[in-house]
Amino acid sequence: MNKISLLLVTGILLMCCRKNTIQDKREKSRGFIAENAMVVSAKEEASKIGLDIMKLGGNAFDAMVATDLALLVSYPVAGNIGGGGFMVFRMADGTTGALDYREMAPISATKNMYLDQEGKVVSDKSKTGALAIGVPGTIAGLFEIHNKFGTISIEKLIQPAINLANNGVVITLAQAKRLNQHKVSFRNVNQRRILYDKQWRAGDTIKNPLLAKTLERIKTEGRDGFYKGKTADFIVNKVQNLGGIITTEDLENYNVKWRDPIIFNYNDHKIISMPPPSSGGICLAQILKTIEPFNISQYKHNSSKYIQLIVEAERRSYADRAYFLGDPDFVDIPTDSLTSNKYLSQRMKSFNWNKATKSSELSRGSFLGYESDETTHYSIVDHKGNSVSVTTTLNGAYGSKVFVDKGGFFLNNEMDDFSAKPGTPNMFGLIGAEANSIVAKKRMLSSMSPTIIETNAKLKMVLGTPGGSTIITTVLQNIINVLDYKMTMQESVSKPRFHHQWFPDNIKFETSFDTTVFSPLKKLGYKVDTSNFLVIGKTDAILVLPDGRLEGGADPRGDDKAEGF
């Protein structure tokens, strides 16, 4: 072998070794791997119950119903039948759709219901207690999904949650801390002691036999077991006793809506996400399409340049969100204009690498031709390749804190997601306008962004997160992590995150974030806020690997768990 050939062979060997080392490292950093099917959710019990349904031959939709109800029992901070949610699905054949089972404003809700005589917002009223509650949608949503796509009897799907409620849930340290933290407000709001009002410790078991009975009624009477009869009476009595306005008519009239997902391309990938009344899909489209021409992966991940570009795209998108978005059944939303490349590049004309844009100097865009924090997300893929991405919520932790004692469940405080008064921020600091004002039977604007990604016409990723206004930017960062920075699903989910939402005009960083980026950002005029942001979002996601196996990304910020087979 001559010298040149020797060098060539050595070079090739070194390259192969390096490739293998990278490959090995990548494999080590992967999350839980399964061959056929997977559920990733906020609680091990819920992921297992969903998976068991698929082991019995059920599909992703069957698993969704069982997982959701298991979260209701095992994760009362956000799992719910007293709240609502959104689901985006993609069938193995590529068909997609979205179900909106968001809460609705009660019939007697009015635009100024949270204002005092001087026209000032009495902010607590929309956040805590009986007036904060929207008409719940979860049970209607689950039955709609089961009627359309279910293959296993509803009784079989509900039974595991009934068993869990009767046998009890062993709580984790995080859960015990959370419950203890809200003990006083449970008592204040309910004006009596409730099941969850105790001093809890990790390892304690919570049984909820009255919730088991509610689920039994739903099992035998169908959705009427919630929206009519005993359960409905329990809800209405409790809410009205505490000064709320929900009536039996509100419950009887609740309806779900099938919606067309927001679908757009980002580089070679097709992103499928939630349309209004969520702002998620439109904002993700705006932000990703704004950064696309910049080829973001040329910048070091989480470097100041990377943060700067994303923040400026986020700032512009959240400014539009505040003005244009609301329930599409009540307001016209100029989706095509808002997500057009022409409009988005126009919006970035004021962007300058040398200086932060001031939110106070940036408003919604214009074009010709007008056309919470506690939520939970789970992702499911079944053995056929059907996928569902579900984000469901009570809004704040334990919602309004109103507990339907006789039914064993909490009710949401979703009314706070409306704009109580244009320009006044809600609990997430989000500002809204007329498009999101309160009207009877209207759905409040959301940030929940259940999302599915397709590459070369094949399923690539299923993801979503809780986190109120930070939901969109958390989903965004996970999309970029995997698609642009080639991270494994688990690496992506675990990476420190940041967030900007136009107002307040500052960048929030998780406390684990590398602080060396703060000084260059501050020099450019960005405000850095590290307070109270231990955690931004809890992403539960599934990545389809090139060989077809599934990698789960369960967020280490919570007790989240991937289960699969």
Query: Does the protein bind ligand GLY through residue 100 (CB under 6 A)?
Result: no
Query: Does the protein bind ligand GLY through residue 446 (CB under 6 A)?
Result: yes
From residue 536, how far is each of 17, 189, 358 by CA, in Å?
37, 27, 23
Distance, CA of 506 to CA of 311 (rounded, Å): 9
Query: Does the protein bind ligand GLY through residue 372 (CB under 6 A)?
Result: yes
Among residues 74 and 375, whose Cβ is nearest to ligand GLY?
A: 375
Query: Does the protein bind ligand GLY through residue 464 (CB under 6 A)?
Result: no
- Identify the residue among 375, 400, 473, 481 touching ligand GLY (CB under 6 A): 375
Among residues 468 and 553, whose Cβ is nearest to ligand GLY?
A: 468
Min dist. Cβ of residue 377 to ligand GLY (A): 11
Angle, helices 60-74/44-55, rounded to nearest 10 degrees: 150
Stretch that binds ligand GLY, among 20-28, 183-191, 440-448, 519-527 (CB under 6 A): 440-448
The token pair at 547 is 């060989």
- 240-259: which residues touch ligand GLY (CB under 6 A)? none
Min dist. Cβ of residue 471 to ligand GLY (A): 6
Query: Does the protein bind ligand GLY through residue 447 (CB under 6 A)?
Result: yes
Query: Does the protein bind ligand GLY through residue 475 (CB under 6 A)?
Result: no
Distance, CA of 540 to CA of 562 (rounded, Å): 8
Partnered with residue 552 across adjacent β-strands are 542
Answer for the pair 244, 269: CB distance below 8 angstroms, yes or no.
no
Angle, helices 229-241/209-221, rounded to nearest 10 degrees: 130
Q: What residue number has its CB nearest to ligand GLY? A: 446
Give buried/exposed letters for 547-562 (b at 16+ CB in 10 A, else e).
eeebbbbbbebbbbbb
- Identify the residue among 76, 82, 408, 468 touching ligand GLY (CB under 6 A): 468
Q: Which of 128, 231, 339, 375 is catalytic?
A: 375
The beta-carbon contacts of 203-208 under 8 Å, at least 24 apart in sequence, are 203/170, 203/171, 204/170, 204/171, 204/176, 205/168, 205/169, 205/170, 205/171, 206/168, 206/169, 206/171, 207/165, 207/166, 207/167, 207/168, 208/73, 208/165, 208/168, 208/408
Query: Does the protein bind ligand GLY through residue 379 (CB under 6 A)?
Result: no
Stretch that binds ligand GLY, among 4-12, 197-205, 441-449, 499-507 (CB under 6 A): 441-449
Answer for the pair 89, 97: CB distance below 8 angstroms, yes or no.
yes
Partnered with residue 295 across adjacent β-strands are none
Distance, CA of 464 to CA of 379 (rounded, Å): 7
Residue 67 annotated as catalytic: no
Min dist. Cβ of residue 75 to ligand GLY (A): 16
Number of residues this chain uses to bind ligand GLY (CB under 6 A): 10
Residue tagged 């992590």 (tokens): 481
Give the CA dihedral 446, 94, 546, 553, nearest 10 degrees.
20
- 380-439: which residues touch ligand GLY (CB under 6 A)? 393, 395, 417
Stretch that binds ligand GLY, among 227-235, 244-252, 318-326, 443-451 (CB under 6 A): 443-451
Among residues 49 and 394, whose Cβ is nearest to ligand GLY?
A: 394
Distance, CA of 537 to CA of 407 (rounded, Å): 30
Which residue numbers are catalytic?
375
Query: Which residues make up the interface to ligand GLY (CB under 6 A)?
Result: 372, 375, 393, 395, 417, 446-448, 468, 471
